[in-house]
Chain A
């Protein structure tokens, strides 16, 4: 240990540090300045950026001792006396903050940049920020915020806080209610919360993909000073899984391991370093057995070999077969004048949220409490009760601020269960945070997939048939896989009218980290296939691909072939919008070889109409409480993971009651204090929790009306709520919000009301009819423009024009952010992202090699919100968080085809394949002309 003297945010400190400790750790643990985030620990994400002697450094790769006598500035020092720095204010106002985990680093980097470059161009800003990764925003609003700050600073013309920032009105853009907390570094994420006297937990993970565990010897590890407990699989034998039908996972491997990276033992010690050291002293004897690493292998009979999971009546590793057929596909093929059949391959994709999983668990008189980065407190609540074998009323799950999820935090996880167990055994709080490598091993990302899809159209461009044969790689466990299997197929039955439609989807187990739900769940890859085929068919019948799509769109207020009830439908408006904005009609005609435009459409569910766990609870419940002070407390189990759902709830309640944010407080996602909400997945929160909030607000309004009406002797239907006043048109009543609450609470006290949302009964009565049923569907379209280097095959995406029908934008600023983030994530899957394995071992398990697009890789994005006002959505709203990812991926691939005539059938797009394709094409045209 060495003494380090350092000035941090103006205050002098002398602390003892380990010689090789990094600055990021000291800032967070010794100074408690947790605004500095750790996202990768390898200098690849920028979340840990701080200033040392006024120069920005990546604190995760800066030795603490290097900073002797230095002056360190962290995000916490930027705002002075409660007043945000003007750049911070810009980030807030422009909606540049979603989950907020990358925000402190982004702000520090941008601030230093603008100080040195007071008049930057947009490209210079993008260049400067290109070492700071953001997974939520697609960078668009961040770059805008920095540009505006720079130009206003130059002109000394900084606009102060926007007038709208206090508003809670539907359709009025506003920053997230917690944006200031995030931009100042004060928002506490799971790893920022310090529970005193906590032990640190680290895991020993399997180095084999498929092996019998013969013995685990913890003797040496237990001797290490500072080690308090070592848990192994046998202590936690109860199986769990997010779906009731896939309870196939234990917290640690029990008798055998099923993937490289599976947890075998867990050490709780005084420090992370000791726990890590102890893991190396645990000796495990394995007997390896044949691993299954590829889809094809797992589909087939496996002979004498051992299956990955013993259950199931066939001698293969198939987890689920889903098949549905409507109409007559054979007949459809006959009716089609032109058909096209293609096979596609997709690599696995990881969510890439910037905040690694982290949690702390402790037991007290209320039994288990866990604070954890989760999208599904309710499902975790149930899983913990089951595995810990305690009644449901002995578990409390608290979701703090969460640094992104995208489906990657929507299962109960082994680490959450293990620390709960060790906390019980040791009587001490136990905390854990995963390294980025462990996050990748935990995975639950998009399934690697293979599919063959066939479609046919008539000469005049009507789709006659769609048939899909799909196989998806689930990895070692079930997760959401049964749903994913269905979604791959059923979510192809819109947005086009289909009479003859069928699919068969297999999900197989392999000895790899498990796949699960990820943004656009299940249908992203199969949508890619369908939109590529439509492009091909349009080409074959010599029809504009936009026109072909226009001809086939389903109408509003109709049923699909699989009996989905389509209500509002903005497909046409979406496509029309991007066609106009990109000048499609003029530009598609005259183009140069190497330059191309592509189009695609999509649709998605606004929440699943059926709950995962079959029961009679409403899908969402929201409580409102108002007391003498006039503040309405919204209590909801919905999980804001950066998508802005807390703000959405506040706006809805504010709109109904005519009050602004000063009178609203959101209390969310604590299973002890808030009513059950299923969680943040399947794009359900705005529709379902939003409706529950609206229902609750309407009930509270009625209470107030009744009270005021009685007190003031005025008919209830003459009272109006607006701008924090309650009034009648004839002015006999003209009181403030607070006065109305005084009337309401007189002789009664605080008033609580409960609102709920229950989906209407929907769908057919055949097996599998429930998959993909939703009370409402979103629709959208994208056009992309690319430039392909015909000598290298390298693709550059130049522009993305996107439009998405979200029904009604409750908060347009947040909706834009969701759309831009979706398109950016789709760009990543198209261009650079893939989970690469070598014999079952994930090769690119860090943010250097798993390539999320940087600012420089992100093209100009044109964002269009289409509003169709859904009849059942709250104020007409439906989903906007996931559906937008569907069209962007095939739009880019179709643009590549348009540019160079090479059809993309594998993702990510490989420059190598394109170059090969260009050469083959050249050869064949030369042959023809010869």
Chain B
């Protein structure tokens, strides 16, 4: 009745991948675990095998090459602020990291983990009993999306605050899976499908997050929330301007994936705002209404541009 549970603690990347392939259909990588363990408590994650990668030293380094700063995926959110290069070149990453959850959680949660934070919805992040009572939604093997009153798509919110900041700075990530390692643009790992929000292979692990150096980024990050701590995002915005006048806008909390729009300082800001607002598939699955969050996209972006361009 009560099945055998496993808790593995690989010491190296290879060992982690091996353990994963041995338990392919029933495992979960655990970095900080602050997201997965809550989902597990609520019965949303039923993996019998937890592979705790937090002891893999090679994933905790921050290294600098000519073009990139590489942040190991297991660097904790709280540790980012003590790295001088990050403070100097990418302060918005620290700001976004500080917007995540609470100070206590940030001492355990990792940057890689935050990028893979499970999408959220009022009708999904609930106990098993609750989901049975509401009639199970698409994201937990039900037939319809309850938040939208019956649509066949899942619109669970993408809520990683750090990803919003990182994507705006054209971050890439190094990924390892059983076939080897490769680099992709961070925004490309997000599928936009609320049920399976990432394109990643099940066995894949993020090794590092890479940020291009010497871009003279100027960025503004904003987060809509009711409390100043202990909150997932209702809307996060990051706007980054590089030295060549390129603008990259990213939204979180309003779509199953980060919503991205690029432009230049020559373009009409209002057009950019209209374009990105149209892209966001916002539904009523948050404490703030759909309409309000939509309106706030414009409001937040205007405020951000004012800071950046004035």
What is A's interface to B at a CB cutoff of 8 Å?
2, 18-20, 22, 41-44, 46, 49, 55-58, 61-63, 65-66, 68, 109, 127-133, 205, 207-208, 224, 260, 273-274, 277, 435, 437, 791-792, 831-832, 836, 838-839, 841, 843-845, 847-849, 851, 853-857, 911-912, 915
Contact = CB atoms under 8 A, between A and B. Distances in A.
Contact of B104 (A132, A208, A791): A132
Contacts of A66: 9, 33, 52, 54
Given A19-B6, A42-B38, A912-B288, A128 B103 contact: yes
Nearest to B52: A66
B30 A63 contact: yes
Contacts of A260: 133
Given A61-B37, A63-B33, A130 B2 contact: no
14 contacts: A19-B5, A46-B102, A55-B107, A61-B108, A63-B7, A130-B230, A132-B104, A437-B127, A791-B303, A845-B130, A851-B231, A853-B227, A854-B228, A915-B292
A848 B232 CA distance: 9
A911 B103 contact: no
Given A49-B104, A65-B7, A838-B134, 14 more contacts: A19-B7, A42-B38, A58-B108, A63-B52, A65-B52, A66-B52, A68-B9, A127-B103, A437-B130, A792-B296, A838-B122, A843-B126, A848-B232, A911-B288
A616 B289 CA distance: 55
B33 A856 contact: no
The 6 A-B pairs of least Cβ separation, nearest first, read: A131-B102, A130-B229, A207-B133, A856-B228, A131-B104, A19-B5
A583 to B, nearest CB: 27
A224 B2 CA distance: 10
Contacts of A133: 230
B50 interface: yes
A68 B11 CA distance: 13
A55 B7 CA distance: 22
A131 B101 contact: yes
B230 A854 contact: yes
Contacts of A205: 129
B133 A130 contact: no
B26 interface: no
B124 to A, nearest CB: 11
A22 B102 contact: no
B4 to A, nearest CB: 8
A845 B125 CA distance: 10
B14 interface: no
Contacts of A129: 103
A22 B107 CA distance: 17
Interface in B281-310: 287-289, 291-292, 295-296, 299, 302-303
B13 interface: no
A20 B104 contact: no
Nearest to B133: A207
Given A42-B41, A277-B2, A62 B102 contact: no
Interface in B1-48: 1-2, 5-7, 9, 30, 33-34, 37-38, 40-42
Contacts of A791: 299, 302-303
Given A63-B37, A224-B1, A791-B303, A44 B230 contact: yes
A43 B34 contact: yes
B181 interface: no
A2 B230 contact: no
Given A49-B104, A63-B7, A912-B288, A856 B227 contact: yes
Contacts of A22: 37
B170 interface: no
Contacts of B9: 65-66, 68
Given A46-B102, A131-B103, A205-B129, A63 B299 contact: no
B227 A61 contact: no
B40 A277 contact: no
Given A19-B5, A63-B37, A437-B130, A848 B230 contact: yes
Interface of B: 1-2, 5-7, 9, 30, 33-34, 37-38, 40-42, 50, 52, 54, 101-105, 107-108, 122-123, 126-127, 129-130, 132-134, 146, 224, 226-232, 287-289, 291-292, 295-296, 299, 302-303
Given A44-B230, A61-B33, A912-B288, A56 B130 contact: no
Contacts of A857: 227-229
Most chain B beta-carbon contacts within 10 A, residue among A2, A57, A128, A277: A57
Contacts of B38: 42-43, 61
Contact of B5 (A20, A127, A853, A855): A20
A208 B5 CA distance: 33
Contacts of B105: 43, 58, 131
Given A43-B38, A61-B33, A56 B229 contact: no
B229 A20 contact: no
Nearest to A847: B230
A233 B30 CA distance: 42
B292 A911 contact: yes
Nearest to A223: B1
Contacts of A855: 229
Given A19-B5, A42-B41, A109-B104, A856 B133 contact: no
B122 A843 contact: yes
Contact of B40 (A20, A224, A856): A20
A855 B230 CA distance: 11
Most chain B beta-carbon contacts within 10 A, residue among A43, A133, A205, A845: A43
Contacts of B50: 19-20, 63
Contacts of B224: 792
Nearest to A793: B292
A273 B2 contact: yes
A925 B176 CA distance: 61
Nearest to A856: B228
A130 B228 contact: yes
A50 B37 CA distance: 17
A43 B289 CA distance: 26
Contacts of B303: 791
Given A20-B7, A437-B127, A791-B303, A207 B288 contact: no
Contacts of B129: 205, 207, 437
A66 B31 CA distance: 11
B108 A57 contact: yes
A857 B227 CA distance: 6
A2 B7 contact: yes
A848 B69 CA distance: 34
Given A61-B33, A841-B130, A912-B288, A56 B230 contact: no
Contacts of B132: 207
B76 to A, nearest CB: 10
Contacts of B287: 836, 844, 849
B82 to A, nearest CB: 10
Given A63-B50, A843-B122, A56 B2 contact: no
A851 B227 contact: yes
Nearest to B289: A912
A167 to B, nearest CB: 37
Contact of A841 (B52, B134, B296, B302): B134
A757 B240 CA distance: 70
Contacts of A224: 1
A806 to B, nearest CB: 30
A132 B229 CA distance: 10
Contact of B230 (A55, A131, A208): A131
A58 B104 contact: yes
Contacts of A44: 102, 230
A43 B102 CA distance: 9
A851 B102 CA distance: 13
Contacts of B33: 61-63, 66
A277 B1 contact: yes
B6 to A, nearest CB: 6
Contacts of B292: 911-912, 915
Nearest to A224: B1
Nearest to A840: B133
Given A19-B5, A44-B230, A130 B37 contact: no
